[in-house]
Structure 1
């Protein structure tokens, strides 16, 4: 058996504390050897719970010989710089989505990883949940006939005042944070390349960030993907595949807790069925995929290609979207 892959954690983001560190702690193929933060006390708090040594500053983390791979949960606008530094320091990189906020930077980082012989992986953890493979099998088996359309929604309630999503200086807004989920799901399920038909983004003038939006994509044969996202809603997380003979509906598509058994709803004209699937832990699955790839020297090119296609689509959306200012006042919601 290979020795556990030694991880350094770059930052003390909420997703690291709640999701990734518990997954690393539970997985025997990985071990946390260091946690870095600008605030040493925050790093020490995490190492007291999950092991490793607290480190002040990200550069010091990259200088360590006992770190084989770096997990990057920093704000998206900082990803390109620190992924580049980590790869140049000889570290494999597991980075939270989106890998970067620019398609050229994404391409450059994958090219750098290939030159250095390192694994670079963009963590869309939901794709590692087995429910999506089950849905893909149903579609391939013709359960709803031929695919005619796709729709997906990921919306969350407003965040408290001061949340990073309201800070444009660090890449705030929900397009790169929440909107990427439905777009990535469309890339996963629809055949061939996707192109932008149109997009409308709602921007909060008080904070200067996008707080919701809708996107319409299409395949080369005209199959549409209708996507909605935002943080001025009730919580919704699901997608629907529309076929010539029915539809498949999956709720809790993006953030199912490990103990939840997903339910897939299949509807045809004279048929309704609910299929309960096994519970799964998508974060632990990410860890095993990543550590296995490092051990095998597998660059995970399939995922790299999808990340680049996503980055291209996101660039197109940002460039071509119709941006509308909201008229509602979020002051009361955010106070």
Structure 2
């Protein structure tokens, strides 16, 4: 391997073009080597700013000897197939979230990566932003007393008709797309001892996947209530709130803050309200740095595997528990 990790990208998805490719390019740890696309014109447009090679078809990139690591932003239904192919070809892998639609499949992929001494990481970027570590410290320091409840929401506006998020054969749906964020936030702040109590799901008229949902969880042991909402047909919302016995804290722009965003943690208690302003951070750069570290070590990060599999369990249980509600009438 050269000093720089030679990364190839499967496809030219929006998240790759808008966020990940620029982050790889800014990182001294990576060199963007190739982009594979089934549409040569689209692939060429994505590759041009980085002078990367364009390969026709995903298999060609997987087999390319000049690629050390692969970033996979393909539709969810294609993740497991191409993650496994990349690992079997000896490539480190960063895959978009969720890693797969099955806890058992994800466990198989991590086991394969461990056997081959390769890095495998799910691209949940917000956990690499320091604002969440600060929230955890505030909770641990008892600033709001004993935690009593957690509320998180991630919702986004409707996408154009035909978007992959609305196509069931590609793994579309609100739970897989936006539901991952509040689920992972609950894990990140409250720990792994969470149980799904109930859930609801709604599909907009004319759409064959869930476009809205909510889930109720509890933390085992102390019964902290967890209320999560998510959706693909909403006003934008990206927030969470932790309520305690003596106060509460809220964080907006929790999941997708721009690199120049100044995070503000709002604290409310009997003495009034105050704001903690933090320094801006680039969570995409943080994610790329974490992946580079895993590649250099040539190993799965134990904390990544544990969190990804726990997330998969919760998503499975929400999906299995969700009670469908009638779609609204157009």
TM category, shorter: over 0.9
Matched with 1:117 is 117
Contact 2:83 2:109 survives alignment (8 Å) = yes
**Aligned equivalent of 1:302:** 303
Alignment of 1:223 onto 2:224:
yes
Indicate conservation of the 8 Å contact 1:184/1:310, yes or no. Answer: yes
- Separation in 1, partners of 2:4, 2:93: 15
Q: CA deviation at 1:50?
A: 2.1
**1:43: which partner in 2?**
43
Q: Hey, what does 1:21 align to over in structure 2?
A: 21
Most deviating of 317-326 and 151-160: 317-326
Report how far residue 160 of structure 1 moved. Answer: 1.2
User: Which residue of structure 2 lines up, in the alignment, with residue 333 of structure 1?
Assistant: none
Per the alignment, residue 170 of structure 1 pairs with 170
2:59 — aligned with what? 59
Deviation of the 1:103 alpha carbon? 1.1
Cα distance in 2 for residues equivalent to 1:195 and 1:266: 27
Does the Cα contact within 8 Å between 2:114 and 2:299 map onto a contact in 1?
A: no
Instruction: Tell me how far apart the structure 1 counterparts of residues 308 and 329 of structure 2 sit (CA, whole Å).
Output: 35
Give the match for residue 102 of structure 2.
102
Aligned match of 1:203: 203
Task: Report SS of the residue matched to 1:80.
Answer: helix
- 1:70: which partner in 2? 70
Cα distance, 1:4 vs structure 2? 1.2
SS in 2 for 1:209: coil
Task: Tell me the equivalent position of 2:142.
Answer: 142
Quote the residue 2:91 is aligned against: 91
Shift of 1:44: 1.0
Per-residue CA distance 1:1-50 (angstroms, 9 max, x = gap): x7111100011000000000010011101110000011111111111112
Alignment check: 8 A CA contact 1:67 1:91 kept: yes
Alpha-carbon distance in structure 2 between the residues aligned to 1:191 and 1:233: 28
**1:192–1:220 contact (8 Å) kept in structure 2:** no
C-alpha distance in structure 2 between counterparts of 1:61 and 1:230, whole Å? 34
| CA RMSD after TM alignment | 1.1
> 1:323 aligns to what?
324
- Gaps (5+ residues) in structure 1? 330-335
Q: Secondary structure at the match of 1:274?
A: strand
What is the CA-CA distance between 1:219 and the residue it aligns to? 1.1
SS in 2 for 1:98: coil
Q: TM-score, normalised by structure 1?
A: 0.96
Instruction: Determine the C-alpha separation between the residues in 2 that align with 1:173 and 1:23.
Output: 27
Structure-2-length-normalised TM-score: 0.97
| Structure 1 position 205, deviation (Å) | 4.8
Q: CA deviation at 1:207?
A: 2.0
- The whole-number CA distance in structure 1 between the counterparts of 2:181 and 2:51 is 31
Superposed CA offset, 1:215-265 (max 9, x none): 011111211110011122111001011111101100000000001111110
Question: In structure 2, how many angstroms separate the alpha carbons of the residues matched to 1:10 and 1:184?
Answer: 25
Q: Is the 8 A contact 2:192 2:310 kept in 1?
A: no
2: CA distance between counterparts of 1:216 and 1:234? 21
| Matched-pair contact (CA < 8 Å) for 2:117–2:299 | no
Structure 1 residue aligned with 2:6: 6
Q: Distance in 1 between matches of 2:21 and 2:286?
A: 13
The residue number in structure 2 matching 1:282 is 283
Which SS does the other structure have where 2:217 is aligned? strand
Point out where structure 2 has 5 or more consecutive residues left out of the alignment: none
Q: Aligned to 1:151, what secondary structure does the other structure show?
A: strand
Contact persistence 1:205–1:325 (CA under 8 A): no
Q: Aligned pairs, how many?
A: 328
Q: Are 2:156 and 2:233, in contact at CA under 8 Å, matched by a contact in 1? A: yes
